[in-house]
Each structure stands twice: as C-alpha cells, then as structure tokens.
Chains A and B, each alone.
Chain A
C-alpha cells in the first residue's frame, strides 16, 4: 500500500461526502517482541498493522473515524463515517486545519543498521539481557527480559494540499529482577533504547535491573522526617512527564492544569530548565511534522525559573491567539490529534549522582515511586505517593527503605530543586522524557 496515496484517497472521499475540510493519517508498521523467562524464549511475535484515521470538518464542527480497510471502498466508508460524526459535534469556532503546514528537518529517525537484525539476532540479544540480569549474586529471579522493536511509516494528507510521510525505527529492551524473598522481595528495572538493536547494551540493561533490585534488598520502613530528597533519573522523569502533561494548552484552557494563568510566573528554581523538543535526533517521539501537518520544533517551557509558555496544537493556539508549537499528537490512526508532549528534555547540570548525594548530606534517595498518576491532584498539584529507595547519611548512600510516602505540591517541589544532575538519560515509561537526577531541598517523608 502507498500510504500517501491512501491518505489522499481518504481526503478526496471525505470532501466528496460533503466535508468542508479534512485530513487523513495513514499508518503501516511491523513490530517484533521477544520475551525471555528463565533463560528460554517465552514468547516471540512478529506483527504487522495498517490503518487510516480521517478527520472531517463540517464548518466548525469536527468528527473522526478510523478503520483497517485501506481499499478504495473501505477508505470511502471511513471518510463518510467521519463526515457523519461531525454532525453530532457542537460548533467550535477554533476548530479547523492548521494554518501553518510543513515539515522540519529531523535527522536519524531510521537507522540503516535496523534491517541487519534478523529475528535470530534479536532473540540472542534478549537472552543476553536475561543472563546479565540473573548473573549477580543475590538476584533471586528475573521476572521478564523483553526486547521489542518497531518500524513504522505514517503519511498525512489534507484538503489544503498538504501531503507528507516519514518512517521511523525504534528498539527497546528491559528486564525486571528480584532480590530477596517473600515479604522482603524487592524489584528493580533496567532499560535501554535506541534507533536499532545495536544501540542496546544487554549487559548494561540486565545489570541495571539487578543493581537496582540488590540496592533495595533488606529495605525497612524508616521513621517519618522532613529532609532533602534526591530523585533518580527514572523518578525525576515520572514527575517531569506528569508536569509536561499539565503544560498542554488543552489542560490549561479546560482549567485542568495547576499552571493555568501562570505564564511568566516563577514556578521553579532557576537551575531547572525544561523544553519540549520534537526534533531531537534521539527522541523516540521525534518527527518532521505533528499529527495535523504542522512542523515540529523545540519549545522552551521553563527557563530562569519562569514558566515560558504552553504546548499548542492549531485549535488551542487559535483559542489563545498564539501559533501552534507543533504539538498535535497522535497515539495512532485510531485517535484524532490532540495536544501532547513530544520529547520532554531537562537540561543536565554539573553534579554526578555521588555529588548530589554528598550535597544532600542527610536525606533520602528515591529510586521508585508508585501511584504517581492517582496520587497527584492535577489542578492543585498536591501529591502523596508511595516510594522506596535508600537513606542518605553523611553524604553517602545508606540503608534501603520502603513503604514510605513522599508528599509535597509540584510547584513547591520545582522551586526547591537545588541541583540538577549531569547524568541525563531517556526514560520511556509514560511518555518520552530525558531527565537527570534532581536534588530537592526538602520534602515530607512519611514512614513509621
């Protein structure tokens, strides 16, 4: 199937069905997944998918439909369903195709080496991750070692003559290891990602899972305290991902963001700099154009402690009297475009982890948080989440702790970030974030 052609056919059909404007997003992908357990391949999959999603406008009303049938007839049926759906929506004067259409130059979305990796070779890689996770003494089990990759192409066409496409590749691997047994069991996750399997270091990924689990072995519940807290890169990325979702203009305009009305205000300590960048060569969410055909770009969000602005698609931009930032995002052809982060990037600082821990003096090093999304009030920003990690005593990592709750509100936390770590890394959990560890001056830590 020629994707651009399928998208164009869909747009023609939508216009023929009476749409005043329309766009179509067509997608085709292949993916592989290897899951290893106890040194054996537990499952191996090889899958393909394709589909198209059509957005049809009836003046300032918009409807959406998607399907897997890319035949002429199938595409026409989807386009008609989108036009029909539009009848149901209420008028929204800000609806419509973006005025800014085009593509940015983004390098390195595909790796030429990707095709060299046969299924046999990626199975070997997954087995190596598993071996590395099981090797260290004290690891009682490895729950799963998983390798996964995808090669996907998308094409977007609209009734204003835009038509473009791109292809991207991505490979990931992760392992989760256990240390201890019974009630004392602790888990650790290791992860790696890149444009092709060659970018993954199986020893590092498996070893990280083991190290993180072993570091927590024998963890106990500590006494409650208020103290400096070092968030490791995984945990920092979880918080940053959540903060990023609050910086979407959609959340702001709908009154669901604690940052609403705070543009230009001081919301963080000046050491913390945050941007959204849809053009970063390594970013898993990078692309030349966004989900409605606007060029992607880099948008500064927090600099010098101030909130610079929000992320927009064309609809929210029109409503705010701004320009789109190219953040119309698509989960897949099954969802219409809506404002979303691309790659959130926190600028690294000067101190390595040991330096952050030394600065903390006496405090807590958090390596895991649980229930972040249920534990944060998106409007007030107050949160209270379960956590585990290690105490910091005399500027060094000390005994492991668990069953603790850390509580604060997001802006107070951002304002009390004192140091930003130098070791930034990509974390693929819950969005695409590149973050270093962070030292927060003080948080309430409740234990026993």
Chain B
C-alpha cells in the first residue's frame, strides 16, 4: 500500500518551494502499535494505537522550516507545504523529477506480531511472571512489558529522492523487585529487535529469569567503593558507556556546533590501536536497524573508530552537505512530528582478542560494572555520569561481592585512552535514546572492556 501517490508528493514539494529553498522534503508515515503489561500478577493496560501523518520541511542555507500534520489528506499536505514555504524569502525553485523508490537493507520478519493472537501475548507475560517468581522466595514483584510496533515510511525529496521502508519492532522487558528484611533491590532485562514474533520463540522468559537473578544478587550488595579504580564494563548493555560518552559526541550536529570534544579530531589517535567501533544501522534485525534512515538514505555500517583513530562522524543530509561528505544514514526522527537529526543506530565496540576472565583476572582491586541504570553526558566536554545498577567488586583478579549505589564519573576522551583490553563476546542490547525531545530505539553494545582507571562515586564513606 502506498501512503502518498508520487504525483501528490511532487505537487507538495513544488508548493513547499514556492518561495525558494535549497531542498524540500515530504515525510509520510503510518504507525500502528500495541502494548500490554503485567504487574503484581495481573495483565493490565492493553492498548493499541493507529496514527498517520506527514512532515514537510524546506531547507535554505543553514535554516530549516518545517511543519507537520496529523493525517494524509491531500488538502492538509498542500496546506502545510504552503504554510512552511511562507517562512522562506526568495524566488520559487523547481523540484527534480522523483526517481524510482529505494528500499535499503531488508530486515526479514518471519511472523508479523499483529498476526499473532493477542491472547498469546498475554500468556507470554504470565509465563515471564511465573519464571521470575520461581527464581526465589525473595522475589516480591515482577513487572513485564510487551510492545510491538509497525511503521510504514515514505520519503520524497526535491532532489529526486524517493524511498520507502517498513519497520517492525518487538520487545519484551522485565523488571523484578526482590526484598529481604528492610532491603529492596531491583533488576531488569529486555529482549528486542527489528523483527517479528520469531524473536520471542526461543525462551523469551529468560529476560524475567535474568531480571530476577539481578535483583536477588543485589540483595547481598555491599556499599560501593569510592575513588579512582580500574573498571571492567560488561558486554551488551555496558555499551551504554560508549553510546553516551563517545557516540553522542560523534553526531555531526554537535560536532559542527563545536559542542563536542570530538570536533576537529578526525584522524587523531583517541584510543589504543586494538580499539575499533562502529555505528551500524544495517545490522540484520538489530534493535536500532532500519532499511533507510528517515531521510531516505540507506542505512549502513560506519567505522567511527578504527585501530584507535577517529575515522568518521555520524551524518544526516544537512550536516553531510555542510562538511561536503555523504550522509552516513543517521538522519533519524521519532515520528512525523519531528525533523531528522543525526542519531546513532546500533553503536558498539568491535570484539577483541581477550576473554572476559582475562580482563577481570588482570585487576587487583576494581569494579565490575555489568549493567547501568542510565547515564548522562555533556557532549561539549565529554564528561559523563552513570549509575551502575549491577556491579561487583573485583579483588585479586576475582569477581567477589555485589555492590550497590556505585556511579562512574569521568570523561569520554580519558576513558577511551584508558582502555586496556577488549574481549570477544560482543552483544547488543535494546535501548531508547533521547535527544532534543525525540526518543528513538538505539542498539547499545560491546564485548567486555577493561578501563584502567575511572572515578567511582560510591556510597561507602
């Protein structure tokens, strides 16, 4: 099914350029979503949504004029194009004839989630709940969430661009609370991807078991140490550190505004030679993958750090044009209510030669940070703060007591330089990334990584 006929798209673009502009674009979208959760043993909050809408933007020089509208009615599209064009001051320009539709990387979906009976989704939640409760008598609560979404996207540009994509995502998440005497700890885990129901066919209840294990483990946690310590960061969700402390600083909008510590450092050796990192929006069925980005550029793998050298920033069309390079397919937007900005897709360190045990074994006294509760970074300085939701002491090369309340405070550049080893166990976890009021699915990942020294802010006096 087509959302907008090419003839209408051409008229909208022509209307948008009525007062000039270097580029006009029409982005149309139809989204469907369904979600349901389980809390305290009860299936609740089943909800579904169905939206259509479009965004028209005109770019002139460094200025962007845009508008969006709910629905795809012809008169609404033409009206919003007209209103956007009013912001521009100049002579009308003509769009180039639209080319054939590009579709980019395909991500196979074997069983579309909407084809699966809703009752099975509720049953999945119940099975997860049972598994979490079976993990131990100290499991007090489990909250399980299921969400599926389908987005049909079409992009038309006055440069002749014409692209389309169909995106199916599915995700199950578990959050478990464990109690012992007065003590309360939480653990969580997720599984998700740009995929269909098949992703949940093999032991989906594992996420609940894992969340429960984390919560139970943390019941035995001791106060976190304070000071400068070596830190081994876990694989999978540990990649949040790379995402926050490095990735955001590589997004070309921050770079071009000189609001990134990575600005002007292309080609510089930022990390030891065994460190390589990618942003890969084409990775098969990964959570942050799409066929095209939200400007119609096919997604691809971009090497951002190669052998320790900074090799590329992450671009959308606007910032790429400014730097005289090609878009890296990172022009993403939350929905038709937003304009695209450079965003990560799936960002991860390439696997190295070490094993996790070797990395841990090399540490006399340090912290093993397995999972983060979240983090924040100031891209302009690279300074970051992360809360460690699952962490352990490392003593004499062995993982010992779990610790609670640890935070990692540091700087992205310093952390990169201080990488001492990378293991081979790459894993990618499902995150949601917020920037400028837009939230998009982003894959975060890495193998185990050893950082020689970071500031650990603990709870121990």
B46 contacts partner chain A, Cβ-Cβ < 8 Å? yes
* Cβ–Cβ < 8 Å partners of A334 in chain B: 49
Partner of A444 from the list B140, B259, B461 (CB cut-off 8 Å) is B461
A375 contacts partner chain B, Cβ-Cβ < 8 Å? yes
B352 contacts partner chain A, Cβ-Cβ < 8 Å? no
B65 contacts partner chain A, Cβ-Cβ < 8 Å? yes
Q: Given the interface contacts A254-B141, A255-B140, A386-B457, does A51 sit within 8 Å of B186 by beta carbon?
A: no
* Proximity string of chain B (71-110) to chain A, C-beta cutoff 8 Å, 1 when within and 0 when not: 1000000001001100100000000000000000000000
Partner of B46 from the list A85, A224, A385 (CB cut-off 8 Å) is A85
Complex-state Cα separation, A299 to B71, whole angstroms:
40
Complex-state Cα separation, A398 to B373, whole angstroms:
33
Determine if A386 and B65 form an interchain contact, defined as CB atoms under 8 angstroms apart: no
B283 contacts partner chain A, Cβ-Cβ < 8 Å? no
Partner of A49 from the list B224, B337, B373 (CB cut-off 8 Å) is B337
- Count of A-B residue pairs with CB < 8 Å: 202
A340 contacts partner chain B, Cβ-Cβ < 8 Å? no
* Cβ–Cβ < 8 Å partners of A178 in chain B: 259, 380
Q: How large is the interface on B (under 10, 10 to 19, 20 to 34, 35 or more residues)?
A: 35 or more
Determine if A89 and B45 form an interchain contact, defined as CB atoms under 8 angstroms apart: yes
CB distance from B143 to the nearest CB of A (A): 8
Determine if B49 and A371 form an interchain contact, defined as CB atoms under 8 angstroms apart: no
A352-381 with Cβ < 8 A to chain B = 370-371, 373-375, 377, 379-380
Determine if A374 and B46 form an interchain contact, defined as CB atoms under 8 angstroms apart: no
Complex-state Cα separation, A182 to B382, whole angstroms:
10
Q: Given the interface contacts A42-B63, A65-B49, A336-B45, does A371 sit within 8 Å of B70 by beta carbon?
A: no
Complex-state Cα separation, A424 to B455, whole angstroms:
35
* Cβ–Cβ < 8 Å partners of A375 in chain B: 373, 385, 387, 407
Q: Given the interface contacts A44-B63, A384-B407, A405-B457, does A373 sit within 8 Å of B374 by beta carbon?
A: yes
Q: Given the interface contacts A42-B62, A183-B411, A373-B374, does A78 sit within 8 Å of B50 by beta carbon?
A: yes
Which of A41, A182, A375, A380 has its CB near the most chain B CB atoms (within 10 A)?
A375
Determine if A67 and B373 form an interchain contact, defined as CB atoms under 8 angstroms apart: no
Complex-state Cα separation, A212 to B354, whole angstroms:
45
* Proximity string of chain A (40-56) to chain B, C-beta cutoff 8 Å, 1 when within and 0 when not: 11111111111100000
* Proximity string of chain A (379-391) to chain B, C-beta cutoff 8 Å, 1 when within and 0 when not: 1101011100000
Determine if A384 and B48 form an interchain contact, defined as CB atoms under 8 angstroms apart: no
* Cβ–Cβ < 8 Å partners of B311 in chain A: none
Complex-state Cα separation, A374 to B387, whole angstroms:
6
* Proximity string of chain A (433-448) to chain B, C-beta cutoff 8 Å, 1 when within and 0 when not: 0000000000010100
A61-120 with Cβ < 8 A to chain B = 62-69, 77-78, 81-82, 84-90, 92, 119
Complex-state Cα separation, A402 to B65, whole angstroms:
38
* Cβ–Cβ < 8 Å partners of B66 in chain A: 43-45, 47
* Cβ–Cβ < 8 Å partners of A281 in chain B: none
Complex-state Cα separation, A67 to B31, whole angstroms:
10
* Cβ–Cβ < 8 Å partners of B83 in chain A: 46
CB distance from B36 to the nearest CB of A (A): 6
A325-339 with Cβ < 8 A to chain B = 334, 336
Complex-state Cα separation, A201 to B121, whole angstroms:
52
* Cβ–Cβ < 8 Å partners of A242 in chain B: none
Which of A47, A49, A183 has its CB near the most chain B CB atoms (within 10 A)?
A47
Complex-state Cα separation, A405 to B378, whole angstroms:
16
Determine if A402 and B64 form an interchain contact, defined as CB atoms under 8 angstroms apart: no
B459 contacts partner chain A, Cβ-Cβ < 8 Å? yes
Complex-state Cα separation, A44 to B183, whole angstroms:
51
Q: Given the interface contacts A254-B40, A384-B458, does A379 sit within 8 Å of B184 by beta carbon?
A: yes
CB distance from A118 to the nearest CB of B (A): 11
Complex-state Cα separation, A84 to B117, whole angstroms:
12
B258 contacts partner chain A, Cβ-Cβ < 8 Å? yes
Determine if B84 and A67 form an interchain contact, defined as CB atoms under 8 angstroms apart: no
Report the nearest A residue to B407, measured CB to CB: A384
Complex-state Cα separation, A377 to B372, whole angstroms:
13
A166 contacts partner chain B, Cβ-Cβ < 8 Å? no
Q: Given the interface contacts A45-B339, A380-B184, does A143 sit within 8 Å of B226 by beta carbon?
A: no
* Cβ–Cβ < 8 Å partners of B389 in chain A: 374
Determine if A407 and B459 form an interchain contact, defined as CB atoms under 8 angstroms apart: yes
B53 contacts partner chain A, Cβ-Cβ < 8 Å? yes
Determine if A47 and B43 form an interchain contact, defined as CB atoms under 8 angstroms apart: no
Seen from chain B, the residues whose Cβ lies within 8 Å of a Cβ on chain A are 36, 39-40, 42-53, 62-71, 80, 83-84, 87, 118-119, 121-122, 140-141, 177, 183-184, 186, 224, 226, 257-259, 261, 337, 339, 372-376, 378, 380-381, 383, 385-387, 389, 404-407, 409, 411, 413, 455, 457-459, 461
Please name the 5 residue pairs, one residue from A and one from B, whose CB atoms are nearest each other, closest first. Answer: A374-B374, A405-B457, A386-B385, A374-B387, A64-B47
**Can you spell out 28 A-B residue pairs with CB atoms less than 8 angstroms apart?**
A43-B64, A44-B63, A44-B65, A45-B67, A46-B84, A47-B67, A49-B69, A63-B46, A67-B51, A68-B70, A81-B50, A85-B46, A88-B43, A89-B43, A89-B44, A143-B259, A183-B381, A255-B177, A370-B378, A371-B386, A374-B386, A374-B389, A382-B404, A385-B385, A386-B385, A386-B457, A405-B409, A407-B458
- Besides the contacts A143-B259, A402-B383, A407-B405, what 14 more A-B pairs have beta carbons closer than 8 Å? A43-B63, A47-B337, A48-B80, A51-B70, A63-B47, A64-B45, A143-B257, A185-B381, A186-B381, A384-B457, A386-B407, A405-B385, A407-B457, A446-B226
